[in-house]
């Protein structure tokens, strides 16, 4: 079972309540960014390029609880930066769990083993560990040799203490689909509850601008990876969103589905873009020109986006918005492995991995930003 039944029921009943109230726009997951500092400097990251006085800031637990209350979403994802570097992160998690929010703390796991004693296992709380693939691929992606082994050690330690653990994986151009499939086997063998996938988004601020995928290439890659699926693989995502990534469905963006709150306020319009901030959640919902966003809007920054923060809520909305959507979800969850001969052929095509045409860059976090060393 990818997620506990109680969590599925909480989300399903929440969505149905919003629909019965006639709400056209409602949040599903609060993206809470309590800090922007990180102990890694991944080449595809668009979150850590702030001046030092911003990187030093931490949101208080009270600010986090207030945001969760204002927003009202049943789930809270805590990305960053690296949340485990926040001195009060355990208080933030504890307070959100006490409010019966399903909390996903996204971490690169460098500090996970060390910080585990600060947390208590709960059905409401999951460590979502950032692992971008098999050892070499992950180390390359996060610009840190040995990063994969540390993450795996943290995952094992968290599982041994009874925590819920999932993985989150971002895929860029040049990804070898066979390697990703082998990575799925590895994570299932390690015992993680389930896995989450996303195509990388081309943040303006990310140091590596060459390896973000366009929509056609995203569909091709995900078709190769997710067709002919093994029954042992478990995903912590809407099955219809995965079908969207595989090119089997079309959705319009739902940017309000995963609203973002951070030290600047409520971010317009979504987790990826920064078109201003509002002080309140109500203002975010009423003041944002939503029609200016999404692939259909013609906004060039949305043209290639298929990210879960915009499109997974669209898939969830379909699941609970019609009998057809619900039946498709049941079918996708239980009865299909997506047999596809063309996708099998894609697995035999040669891949030119990112590593072969880019130097490995090790970021020394003790050095001032911008002094990365190529090896």
As to burial, measured by CB atoms within 10 angstroms (0-12 exposed, 13-18 middle, 19+ buried), residue 6 is exposed
**In the complex, minimum distance from the CB of residue 38 to ligand SF4, in angstroms, rounded to a whole number:** 3
Nearer to ligand SF4, 290 or 326 (CB): 290
Positions in the binding site for ligand SF4 (CB under 6 A): 38, 40-42, 45, 47-48, 80-82, 108, 130, 142, 253, 255, 269-270, 272-273, 293-295, 301-302, 305, 307, 309-310
**In the complex, minimum distance from the CB of residue 295 to ligand SF4, in angstroms, rounded to a whole number:** 6
Q: Round to whole Å and give the CA distance between 354 and 331.
A: 35
**In the complex, minimum distance from the CB of residue 324 to ligand SF4, in angstroms, rounded to a whole number:** 24
Nearest 10 degrees: CA dihedral of 354, 173, 2, 240?
A: -170
The candidate with the shortest Cα–Cα distance to 237, out of 315, 338, 159, is 315
Q: Round to whole Å and give the CA distance between 258 and 271.
A: 7
As to burial, measured by CB atoms within 10 angstroms (0-12 exposed, 13-18 middle, 19+ buried), residue 298 is exposed
**In the complex, minimum distance from the CB of residue 55 to ligand SF4, in angstroms, rounded to a whole number:** 11
Nearer to ligand SF4, 29 or 343 (CB): 29
By beta carbon distance, the residue nearest ligand SF4 is 310
Nearer to ligand SF4, 93 or 305 (CB): 305
Nearer to ligand SF4, 201 or 281 (CB): 201
- Asked whether the beta carbons of 274 and 259 are under 8 A apart, the reply is no
**In the complex, minimum distance from the CB of residue 93 to ligand SF4, in angstroms, rounded to a whole number:** 18
Give just the sign of the alpha carbon dihedral 340, 341, 342, 347: positive
Nearer to ligand SF4, 177 or 269 (CB): 269
Where does residue 137 fall: left (phi above 0), alpha (psi -120 to 50 degrees), or beta otherwise? alpha
**In the complex, minimum distance from the CB of residue 46 to ligand SF4, in angstroms, rounded to a whole number:** 8
| Residues 6 or more apart whose Cβ sits within 8 Å of residue 8 | none
Residue 114 tokens, joined: 């060390």
Nearer to ligand SF4, 67 or 272 (CB): 272
């Amino acid at each position: 079972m990818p997620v506990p039944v109680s969590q599925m029921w909480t989300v399903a009943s929440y969505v149905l309540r919003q629909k019965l109230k006639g709400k056209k726009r409602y949040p599903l997951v609060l993206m809470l960014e309590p800090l922007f500092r990180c102990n890694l400097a991944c080449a595809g990251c668009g979150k850590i390029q702030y001046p030092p006085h911003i990187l030093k800031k931490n949101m208080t637990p009270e600010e986090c609880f207030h945001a969760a209350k204002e927003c009202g979403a049943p789930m809270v994802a805590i990305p960053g930066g690296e949340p485990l570097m926040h001195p009060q992160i355990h208080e933030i998690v504890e307070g959100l769990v006490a409010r019966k929010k399903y909390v996903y703390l996204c971490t690169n796991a460098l500090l996970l083993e060390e910080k585990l004693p600060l947390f208590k296992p709960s059905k409401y709380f999951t460590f979502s560990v950032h692992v971008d693939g098999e050892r070499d691929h992950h180390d390359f992606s996060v610009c840190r040799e040995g990063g994969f082994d540390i993450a795996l050690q943290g995952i094992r330690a968290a599982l041994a203490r009874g925590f819920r653990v999932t993985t989150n994986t971002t895929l860029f151009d040049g990804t070898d689909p066979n390697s990703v499939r082998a990575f799925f086997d590895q994570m299932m063998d390690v015992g993680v509850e389930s896995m989450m996938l996303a195509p990388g988004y081309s943040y303006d601020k990310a140091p590596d601008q060459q390896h973000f995928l366009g929509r056609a290439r995203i569909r091709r890659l995900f078709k190769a990876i997710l067709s002919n699926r093994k029954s042992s693989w478990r995903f912590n995502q809407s099955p219809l969103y995965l079908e969207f990534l595989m090119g089997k469905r079309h959705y319009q963006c739902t940017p309000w589905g995963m609203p973002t709150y951070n030290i600047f306020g409520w971010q317009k319009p979504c987790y990826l873009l920064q078109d201003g901030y509002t002080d309140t959640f109500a203002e975010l919902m009423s003041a944002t020109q939503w029609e200016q966003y999404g692939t259909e809007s013609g906004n060039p920054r949305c043209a290639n986006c298929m990210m879960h923060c915009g499109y997974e809520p669209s898939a969830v909305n379909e699941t609970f918005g019609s009998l057809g959507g619900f039946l498709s979800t049941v079918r996708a969850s239980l009865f299909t492995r997506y047999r596809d001969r063309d996708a099998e052929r894609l697995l035999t095509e040669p891949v030119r991995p990112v590593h072969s045409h880019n130097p490995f860059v090790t970021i020394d976090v003790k050095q001032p930003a911008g002094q990365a060393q190529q090896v």
